[in-house]
Every structure is written in C-alpha cells, then in structure tokens.
Structure 1
C-alpha cells in the first residue's frame, strides 16, 4: 500500500475504532469492517491494484444481500480518504444526498422501507447497472436526480 495512505489510515485508526469501525492495516491492504444504520455488516477492502491503476476498493456486504460488491479504482490517495469518509457516512446513515433522493423515491414507493430497498438494491440500466446508492457513492448524485426527473416526466426506466 502507498505509504502516505497507509500513514493517514494509521493516524485515523483510533477515530475509526471510536466510530465502531474495525480496521486491520497490512502492508498490501487495509480492511475496514463496519455496521450500517440497518445493522448490516460491511467490509471495505483497500488494496494496491497496480502501480498504474492506483487503489482498488471493494465494498462488500457481509450479510446475505442481492447487491453485488461495489468496486472502485481510485488513483489519488487523498481521494481514497475522501471516498472512505463519504462511504462510511452513507453506511452509518449520515448521508444528506441519500436523504434528498430517498424523499423523492418515497413519493412513489409504498413506504420508506420500499424506497430504501429500491435505493440500495435496484440496478439502474441508465446508470450503467449501478444502484442509486452505488452511483451516489461514486459522486453521481446529479445523475440519480436527473434519472428521477426523467421518470417523473413520464420517461421510461
């Protein structure tokens, strides 16, 4: 693992642990284990994909889930930390972007729970097969909102 990223994660280790996130730092990878706001367990693995590609990040649900792993390749170590902070906020239910999207989905879903299930588990072909949650995690909030606008105007899913 790149030394700057390793040191940054190491420096935040006690902060992660205070938030209930177990972190295991090894030479070639970092493994974070977290529990989301719905008590689902997640593992976030960061490893060096290759010198050219940067860092490979995989977010995997430890519970039985229909969602496939959420995989990312990020080149910049500081972008990896920003991604981790955002993704951990999402898992802990502190994501304001998710709230905006969920409130819009809830208007046509039968309940908040149905809206959350759609947000987390429904692949959207127009977004490359990503779920709304995966697209938001990649910084594509505007893409999800545009898709919802399209649906609201009578467009096809």
Structure 2
C-alpha cells in the first residue's frame, strides 16, 4: 500500500468479497478524468514516437539498442529534471545503484555519440556532477 497499491486481499478470496472490493475501487475512480497517454514527444528536431518505439532526429531515424532506447525515454520523459544514477537504474533496470555499476554511464556515452553531443561539454544530455544526468530540452532546438 505504501508503494501505491489501492487495496489488497488475502487468499483464499471469496468471489463476493472480491467483487465488493472491485466495486469500491471503481467508485473511488468514478468521475475522475482519464489520464491522457502521451504517444509522441518532440524537442526541436527530435521526435519520439512512443507507440512505434521510433526516434527521429533531423529527419532521420536513429537506431538505438533496446536498453539505450529505454534509458533515453526515461530521460526524455523527465526533461529538465536531474535524475540520479540510482533513480535511473531503478526505473531502467529495476535495481539499486551499488556505487560500482557503470551501465548508466556507458549507455549515456552511447546516446551522446548517436546525437553528436560533445562528450567533453555535453549540452543535450548533461552531467550534473554529484547529482546525475539531465536531458536538456532547449539544447535540441538548436
């Protein structure tokens, strides 16, 4: 429940009780506006079609490995917000950062190369020392 669940039940579950719980959940959510699912994101010449898992930059499709694509989408969806390695690893791979894991750094490096972002002074995917990484939305408009 602390992690966001609405309800829980212990087994064995009686069908009548299960139905009562389901009706209560539906009543709580009745009349609430449905969340609109964003299917496409755009920053300048960068376009991401989430449904098709397609990334286009400057009119060309960018072929990304599945893991790099997943990390890129996490960064893009948090545009303008610094995400720590720990947070990125949790969202990306479902694991905690142990202080030694370099997979985030390696993937960020590959993403920077794919989008011609200078590794020494990155502008599109910035390193915020001591905090994490930042997808800079305004850098894609240049």
TM-score w.r.t. the length of structure 1 is 0.25
Task: Answer 1 or 2: higher relative contact order, Cα 8 Å, separation at least 6.
Answer: 2
Please tell me whether Structure 1 or Structure 2 has the larger radius of gyration of its CA atoms: 2
With normalisation by structure 2, the TM-score equals 0.27
